[in-house]
Chains A and B, each alone.
Chain A
Amino acid sequence: MNYGTLIVGNGPAAHRLAGQLRHHGHQGAITVLGAEPRPAYNRALLTSVLACTLSADDLVLPRLPENVQVRLGITATRIDRVRRAVYTDDGTVYRYDQLVLATGARPNAPAITGLTSSDGGFSEGVRAIRTVSDCEDIPDGRTIVLGGGVLGVETALALRHRGQDVVLVHPGPYAMDDLLDESSGRLLLVHLENVGVKVFPGARAAEYAPGKLALDDGHVLDADTLLLCTGIRPNIELARAAGLAVRTGVLIDDHLRTSDPHIYAIGDCSEHRGAKPGHIAPAWEQAEQLARLLTGHNARYVGTRLVVRLRTSSIDVASFGSPGENTDRLATESVTLSDPARGRYARLILRDQRIVHAVLVGLPRAIASISQLVSRSLPVPSSRLALLLGTSADHWSNAELPDDAVICVCNNVTKKALTCAWRDGARELTNLVRTTRATTGCGSCQRAVERIYRSLSSTTETSGAT
């Protein structure tokens, strides 16, 4: 136990792990190998750089403690599991007692004719959004964003925010269709169109040539730049070459351990219980749990409730949990707010008063409250509507029923008519009914009349006593 912990990768997960290892009292050496030449930064905020609302420097994560060794611009090339050593591209060999793979992922390049050039790289005008350098120097002119997931929508809105001509091409019926239901998806679509993003839903790219993108529905679009937001592929080559169990990602158990007990994996390169990679929240939590485990604490990672909040200034969109996650048949309750005139929509699926899934559009205060409720697994307040509108139950005064409210529709009897009949001496329910005809039609107002009768009786008694 004298080589300490080696972390391969310097993304958000690796950075959080290194910091938290020290925080939880890790005694041995900690070494971080970063392939990118720049210090660790928060990749989840890249689209804010695209929108020019943050600079690249704003994304840089806090400095790690002095006794964490961070080596930048170094790529691990091979793991020797027997010697417990990692070989790198500058010839240095790093030994470890425990190795953590946080190698991240790279953009997934869909199979489109003409997308890649003969040298294996992207053709002219094609790029992905994965690193800070990807966000620099995006040419003016028309940009086609391929893929309407979270990254694609954020990217399209960011570029539009900068004033660029943006087209979004998405194979699903509406953007973010894996996270939103149809109503919220439609609202987002309307918003994208309103701010000037031209959207081609239900379409796939078929063929690319510099300057042109042909879709499978026959459209041919001019394209100065083609931005790929078509998902990611975990970087598993190092692990696979070392003989570790991999599927889409490096397979890990609830202790974040790979098939080698000395090797762990976290973040986008890992695959836990089949969960899809590419979200920042599981990466943060895996780093935290692993830091606890490696410092002798009791910890277990059982998955992260998916929380997705669109990062854009122009519309508030959030999704909590996965839609349709075994929720339909179980004892659940759903609440839907629909306010198309103001572009607001919410759908909550609750079980035992707790949120198992939620989709919200245009409701920033509700999104904030629900984030709190979800992260702390708290029950929702009894007034769901107050929660969704970001107000309190006091929003509805405990007013009296107004005098002109019609109590019995069949016979057009108002509350006032009942009160007058009472004042005129109809002091028994039967008299009240005979005098006003209330309840003698369909009978559905029976309880309402009884309630008014009780209220009249009690107020009269009270005033009689004073």
Chain B
Amino acid sequence: MTGTLVVIGHGMVGHRLVTDLRVKDRADAWRIVVLAEESRPAYDRTALSSYMAGKSAHDLTLVDHDFLRDPLVDLRLGTVAASVDRGSQTVTTTDGTDLGYDALVLATGSRPFVPPVPGHDAPGCFVYRTIDDLDAIRAAAVSGRPGVVIGGGLLGLEAANALRLLGMRPHVVEMASRLMPLQVDDGGGRVLAKLVGELGLRLHCGAAIRSVDTGTDGRVCGVTLADGSVLDTELVVFSAGIRPRDELAGPAGLGRAQRGGFLVDDQCRTSDERIWAVGECAAVNGRCYGLAAPGYRMAEIVVQQLLGFGGAALPLPDVSTKLKLLGVDVASFGDAHAMTAGVLEISYVDNTDSTYAKLVLSPDARVLLGGVLAGDASAYPVLRPLVGHELTAPPEQLLFGGAN
């Protein structure tokens, strides 16, 4: 007896859910219909910058031949869900097709947040989320001209790198007083700013955008900041955060979290026992997570329930990140901002190598609770697994003890 699972969204997490289910569903209990909005199947969105660096869309794909030939997987590209009718257990697509479901997983992801400043939708404004977005930026880029990225977070710096790879001279405008405010602290931000500044990025931290200015042709001709200064540019990329895509919730009578996202419990289930949400669109106990790893955990937990093994709750997601931005290592793990009461912090700055390392430790300095690395994140693989555990050596040895 085969049930129908409809998965709305074929991003990294939606795809993980489908492949995980196909591996574990030995009895072929589920037939899966996957609705993919984009014209191409799931790809590695975290590797978008490598696409600008020369990799092809094919290099980034997460889908292999076996998946596409699997008779129990019906992947519908370029298909958007318009509504969910919980009474009749039906998903209706924008092209008018009705799809009945026994179980429904919402994996709609996020969309970039574009602040509603004047001119934000003028020709010459872009976002940085999909391969199509990157193709559009590439088509509009003019080598040697300045480009302005709104947002100095992780994605903003990736976007700035993309502009740099296209020969443009990127400016980065960040509201917070430092780059990557979510991941790093002031010390890490200083090292990061120094290193990316040396690569030619023009940074405007603690700066807000007042307007995107347009010429007589209606196209972008500059950006005005809140302090009145003007950046001359024909190209603006917004990467000022993301918002969960939860538009299906209201009409379907599903709950939304205060700050958006499908409200789900710690098993990723909505108030409807046949409907789950996973990935960036899921507000687990009210909170959304914009990283792949927590999304993968959610996918696995839902697969367990679909196969009747239910029960496991999502552990508190690990929001650790390590990345190389513009050739600069940055990592953040555990309680990076020392929010736990009573903790102590030790930080190390090396002016010669331009590196910064901070560890957050328990009051007795034995247990690692979190940390920030910038300039050199080679200690990340050693430190990240230790979060929540006693240090296995003096911190300096773990941080600087050598390559093994």
The CA of A248 and the CA of B394, in the complex, are separated in Å by 49
The CA of A445 and the CA of B346, in the complex, are separated in Å by 24
* Residues A448 and B394 in contact in the complex (CB < 8 Å), given A336-B346, A412-B297: no
Q: B348 near A335 (CB under 8 angstroms)?
A: yes
Q: B345 near A337 (CB under 8 angstroms)?
A: yes
B280 at the interface (CB under 8 A from A): no
Chain A residues, CB < 8 A from B391? 396, 399
A330 at the interface (CB under 8 A from B): yes
Q: A341 near B341 (CB under 8 angstroms)?
A: yes
Give chain B nearest CB distance to A337 CB in angstroms.
5
Give chain A nearest CB distance to B105 CB in angstroms.
19
* Residues A441 and B292 in contact in the complex (CB < 8 Å), given A384-B348, A406-B318: yes
Q: A335 near B347 (CB under 8 angstroms)?
A: yes
Chain B residues, CB < 8 A from A399? 390-392
Chain B residues, CB < 8 A from A384? 346, 348, 396
Q: B396 near A400 (CB under 8 angstroms)?
A: no
* Residues A331 and B390 in contact in the complex (CB < 8 Å), given A336-B347, A410-B292, A441-B293: no
Give chain B nearest CB distance to A15 CB in angstroms.
43
Q: B394 near A386 (CB under 8 angstroms)?
A: yes
Chain A residues, CB < 8 A from B46? 442
B229 at the interface (CB under 8 A from A): no
Chain A residues, CB < 8 A from B292? 410, 441-442
* Residues A341 and B346 in contact in the complex (CB < 8 Å), given A330-B351, A332-B351, A406-B385: no
A339 at the interface (CB under 8 A from B): yes
The CA of A203 and the CA of B45, in the complex, are separated in Å by 56
Q: B346 near A409 (CB under 8 angstroms)?
A: no
A275 at the interface (CB under 8 A from B): no
Chain A residues, CB < 8 A from B365? 385, 389, 391, 395
Tell which of A402, A405, A442 has the most Cβ of chain B within 10 Å.
A442
B198 at the interface (CB under 8 A from A): no
Q: How would residues 360 to 395 of chain B score, 1 for a CB under 8 Å from any chain A CB and 0 otherwise?
A: 000101100000000000001110111001111111
Chain B residues, CB < 8 A from A389? 365
Q: How many residues of B are counted as interface, with CB atoms below 8 angstroms from the partner's CB atoms?
A: 41
Q: A409 near B390 (CB under 8 angstroms)?
A: no
A299 at the interface (CB under 8 A from B): no
Chain B residues, CB < 8 A from A332? 351-352
* Residues A335 and B395 in contact in the complex (CB < 8 Å), given A341-B341, A385-B365, A442-B46: no
B326 at the interface (CB under 8 A from A): no
A342 at the interface (CB under 8 A from B): yes
The CA of A407 and the CA of B297, in the complex, are separated in Å by 14
Chain A residues, CB < 8 A from B322? 442, 444
Tell which of A386, A393, A398, A406 has the most Cβ of chain B within 10 Å.
A406
Q: How would residues 389 to 432 of chain A score, 1 for a CB under 8 Å from any chain B CB and 0 otherwise?
A: 10101011111111001110111100100000000000000000
CB closest chain-A residue, reference B366: A396
Give chain A nearest CB distance to B373 CB in angstroms.
11
Q: B389 near A398 (CB under 8 angstroms)?
A: no
Chain A residues, CB < 8 A from B363? 339, 341-342
Chain B residues, CB < 8 A from A444? 322, 380-381, 384
Q: Which of A333-391 contact B (CB under 8 A)?
A: 333-339, 341-342, 344, 382-386, 388-389, 391
Q: Which of B250-274 contact A (CB under 8 A)?
A: none
B320 at the interface (CB under 8 A from A): yes
Q: A331 near B348 (CB under 8 angstroms)?
A: no
Q: A338 near B345 (CB under 8 angstroms)?
A: yes
CB closest chain-B residue, reference A333: B350
Chain B residues, CB < 8 A from A312? none
A451 at the interface (CB under 8 A from B): yes
Tell which of B385, B389, B391, B404 has the most Cβ of chain A within 10 Å.
B385
Q: A405 near B389 (CB under 8 angstroms)?
A: yes
A446 at the interface (CB under 8 A from B): yes
Q: B293 near A410 (CB under 8 angstroms)?
A: yes
Q: How would residues 289 to 309 of chain B score, 1 for a CB under 8 Å from any chain A CB and 0 otherwise?
A: 000110011001000000000
Q: A397 near B385 (CB under 8 angstroms)?
A: no
User: In the complex, which of the residues A337, A402, A441 contacts B344, with contact meaning CB atoms closer than 8 Å?
Assistant: A337
A63 at the interface (CB under 8 A from B): no
A83 at the interface (CB under 8 A from B): no
Q: How would residues 168 to 183 of chain A score, 1 for a CB under 8 Å from any chain B CB and 0 otherwise?
A: 0000000000000000
B349 at the interface (CB under 8 A from A): yes
CB closest chain-A residue, reference B300: A412
Chain A residues, CB < 8 A from B396? 382-385
B141 at the interface (CB under 8 A from A): no
Give chain A nearest CB distance to B117 CB in angstroms.
33
Give chain A nearest CB distance to B37 CB in angstroms.
24
CB closest chain-A residue, reference B401: A382
Chain B residues, CB < 8 A from A448? 381-382, 385
Q: A341 near B342 (CB under 8 angstroms)?
A: yes
* Residues A383 and B351 in contact in the complex (CB < 8 Å), given A395-B365, A401-B386: no
The CA of A405 and the CA of B382, in the complex, are separated in Å by 11
Chain A residues, CB < 8 A from B404? 447, 451
Q: How would residues 321 to 355 of chain B score, 1 for a CB under 8 Å from any chain A CB and 0 otherwise?
A: 01000000000000000000111111111111000
B88 at the interface (CB under 8 A from A): no
Chain B residues, CB < 8 A from A445? 381, 384-385
The CA of A331 and the CA of B347, in the complex, are separated in Å by 17
Chain B residues, CB < 8 A from A342? 344, 363
Give chain B nearest CB distance to A437 CB in angstroms.
10
Q: B352 near A331 (CB under 8 angstroms)?
A: yes
Give chain A nearest CB distance to B356 CB in angstroms.
10
Chain A residues, CB < 8 A from B216? none
B39 at the interface (CB under 8 A from A): no
The CA of A241 and the CA of B394, in the complex, are separated in Å by 61
Chain A residues, CB < 8 A from B380? 444
Give chain B nearest CB distance to A347 CB in angstroms.
9
Give chain B nearest CB distance to A33 CB in angstroms.
51
**Apart from A332-B352, A389-B365, what 12 extra A-B contacts exist at CB < 8 Å?**
A337-B344, A338-B345, A382-B394, A396-B392, A396-B394, A405-B386, A407-B385, A410-B296, A411-B296, A441-B292, A445-B384, A445-B385
* Interfacial residues, chain B to chain A (CB-CB below 8 A): 46, 187, 292-293, 296-297, 300, 318, 320, 322, 341-352, 363, 365-366, 380-382, 384-386, 389-397, 404
11 contacts between A and B (CB under 8 A): A328-B351, A331-B352, A332-B352, A336-B346, A385-B396, A388-B346, A398-B393, A401-B385, A402-B389, A405-B389, A441-B292
7 smallest beta-carbon distances between A and B, as pairs: A339-B344, A383-B394, A448-B381, A405-B385, A341-B342, A338-B345, A444-B322
